[in-house]
Amino acid sequence: MKLLRNWLICLFSTAPLVAAAATGPPATTADPPPVKKRRTVQRSYRAPQWPPSLGAHDQNGRTFSAPRIKDAIDINLDGALIDSMLGDYDAGPAIRMTISWDAGRVFSQLTGQPKFELGALSDTELYLKQWNAQLTVVRDSSGKVTGVISHQNGTDREWPKLETP
């Protein structure tokens, strides 16, 4: 109860605040306090001198380097080879990869993801054109595609091909 009474007195008692506002701050002859200046960061761009085997990226004043990805040279695949690769590949109950053909280009699409274009390095080596990921097509002795192995971030994952009825 005492706390409520004190709060109400502070709320409705404006006389001390008005008196302090009317008189203003005490007058002094000293210099005003110095104004704090913002620290500025001077940025300049200088092309890094890296060996051609390394790629470099500057971000927030830090330089990151990584091995450069080999330049890919696309080859044109035969229509029969492409047809044998088309279909669904399984990696568990919730993940499925579909390789499809659309407007003369080959695409790969994971469940719930957009389509990404594939390029061909050889009859059995494919790669995603958007980032560093490769696919190796696995064939049996008769030449029938039985699955794919994805290679990404140092990890290999097998995707067996699902039989279409």
Among 19-23, 26-30, 52-56, 89-93, top mean pLDDT goes to 89-93
Neighbours of 135 (CB within 10 A): 24
Report the pLDDT value the prediction gives residue 159, as an integer from 0 to 100.
92
Q: Exposed/middle/buried for 108, CB within 10 Å: 0-12, 13-18, 19+?
A: buried
**pLDDT over 70 percentage in the chain:** 61
Q: What phi and psi, each to the nearest 5 degrees, are found at residue 33?
A: -60, 145
Q: Is the pLDDT of residue 137 over 90?
A: yes
Helix (H) or strand (E) holding 65: strand 62-67
Question: Which domains are assigned to the chain?
Answer: 79-160 (2.40.128.50)
**pLDDT digits over 114-131, tens only?**
999 998 988 899 999 888
**pLDDT digits over 26-70, tens only?**
555 666 667 766 665 555 555 555 455 556 667 777 777 666 666
Cα→Cα distances 55→46, 50, 52, 99, 154, Å: 15, 7, 7, 31, 18
Q: What is the DSSP letter of 134?
A: E
